[in-house]
Amino acid sequence: MRFLKYLISVLASLLFFLNTANAAEKWDMALAYGAGNFHSANATEFAKNVTEKSGGKLTIVTHPGGSLYKGGEIFRAVRTGQAPIGERFMSALGKEDPLLEVDSQPFLATSYDDAMKLYQASKAEIVKGLDQKGLVFLYAVPWPAQGLYSKKKISSVADLKGLKFRAYNSATIRIAELTGMAPTKIEAAEISQAFSTGAVESMITSPTTGKNSKIWENGVKYFYDIAAWFPKNMIIVNKDAWNKLDSATQKLIMSEAAVAEKKGWALSKKGNKDDKKALADAGMVVGKVNSALKKHFEGVGATMSKEWAARAGSRGQSVLDSYK
């Protein structure tokens, strides 16, 4: 009888252990940007908070700098379940869904207030589109306002002609086409090499990206603060991985995602100011374009917004109507 009780006790303990083990999940989180980037730092804090508050039900381990999957691979990896969670630059996914490009239409939103209004107007359609692809949307955070970098001074529209231009999505490729620049698609991690080898000599991106890559060390002397758009990174989860979690853990994740989103927007605003100062402190010329160039870029933006609305169809027009 004693042995039977002992055996039952052992079996019960084993069953409890197995249930606990089965209940615990570990997610590897793919991040494209380096650990020091504010997007990665914010995502790491989000992962830490979820891990600590889930009571052992979920552990999220971050892998910054493209160490798990490179930036261009993350969306596919999360969608196919190779990575349960990851971060991706939204407008690089225009071929997946034109709605993901809305935040990179030039001069549609040129301030943080407008960027938030555009996000609120487009979020429901973006979430719906991702859901249809087997993905759960958690949060999105913008980069600081996109400016024009160049190795040489740009004083006129003619100075743009033939300029070797770093593109990272279909919107930046189209800008190059409409301004006469020559685009080459290059991920953020390859920027320094591209400029140092002469593969490119200009780009439109945030002051943060320029600061993080120490772009001035590669012969880039000018940053024109054109505030062209506020593109966002989003955090997405594979729906099958999501469905393995209990409702309490899902609720926790969404709560921490809201916290991370709010903090991320604040960090972006801070970087928009501090990182432009860092470029100037490093010896770069930081300023505005002249009125003729500003008018030219705004015309390019108007053309691209019309083209985007045509691609996005009724969903895109609904977003624009809501935004305006």
Q: What are phi and psi of 27, to 5 degrees?
A: -115, 130
> pTM score, two decimals?
0.84
Answer yes or no: do 287 and 268 share one domain. Answer: no
Answer yes or no: do 54 and 164 share one domain. Answer: no
Answer yes or no: do 260 and 210 share one domain. Answer: no
Say if residues 184 and 248 touch (Cβ distance below 8 Å).
no
Answer yes or no: do 54 and 14 share one domain. Answer: yes
**Which pLDDT value is given to residue 22?**
47
Q: Say which DSSP state 143 is in.
A: P
Residue type at position 69: Y
Please state, as a whole number, how many other Cβ atoms lie within 10 Å of the Cβ of residue 142: 26
**Which pLDDT value is given to residue 168?**
86
Answer yes or no: do 162 and 265 share one domain. Answer: no
190-198 CB contacts, 8 Å cutoff, 24+ apart: 191/166, 191/215, 192/217, 192/218, 194/166, 195/151, 195/166, 195/219, 195/220, 198/164
CA–CA separation, 279 vs 285, rounded Å? 8
DSSP-derived pairing of the beta strands 135-142 and 232-238: antiparallel
**Which pLDDT value is given to residue 20?**
45
Answer yes or no: do 165 and 135 share one domain. Answer: no
CA–CA separation, 111 vs 94, rounded Å? 22
**Containing structural domain, residue 49:** 2-142+232-275
Write out the E strands in 49-122. 58-63, 85-89
Q: Which of 89, 98, 95 is closest to 71 using CA atoms? A: 89
**Which pLDDT value is given to residue 141?**
98
**Which pLDDT value is given to residue 2?**
62
CATH of the domain at 159: 3.40.190.170
**Which pLDDT value is given to residue 72?**
93
Answer yes or no: do 121 and 58 share one domain. Answer: yes
Please state, as a whole number, how many other Cβ atoms lie within 10 Å of the Cβ of residue 48: 14
Terminal-to-terminal C-alpha distance of the chain: 78
Answer yes or no: do 280 and 212 share one domain. Answer: yes
Answer yes or no: do 93 and 200 share one domain. Answer: no
Residue labelled with tokens 């594979």:
238
CA–CA separation, 108 vs 110, rounded Å? 6
pLDDT tens track, the chain, 324 positions:
565 555 555 455 555 444 444 459 999 999 999 999 999 999 999 999 999 999 999 999 999 999 999 999 999 999 999 999 999 999 999 999 999 999 999 999 999 999 999 999 999 999 999 999 999 999 999 999 999 999 999 999 999 999 999 998 888 999 999 999 999 999 888 999 999 999 999 999 999 999 999 999 999 999 999 999 999 999 999 999 999 999 999 999 999 999 999 999 999 999 999 999 999 999 999 999 999 999 999 999 999 989 999 999 999 999 999 998
Number of domains in the chain: 2
Joined tokens for residue 67: 């160490």
Say if residues 180 and 315 touch (Cβ distance below 8 Å).
no
Answer yes or no: do 69 and 202 share one domain. Answer: no
Please state, as a whole number, how many other Cβ atoms lie within 10 Å of the Cβ of residue 284: 20
Answer yes or no: do 127 and 191 share one domain. Answer: no
Residue type at position 65: G
DSSP-derived pairing of the beta strands 147-150 and 202-205: antiparallel
Helix (H) or strand (E) segment spanning residue 30: strand 25-30
The torsion of the CA quartet 17, 20, 23, 28, rounded to 10 degrees, works out to -90
Answer yes or no: do 42 and 100 share one domain. Answer: yes
CA–CA separation, 268 vs 39, rounded Å? 9
Q: Say which DSSP state 152 is in.
A: S
Residue type at position 165: F
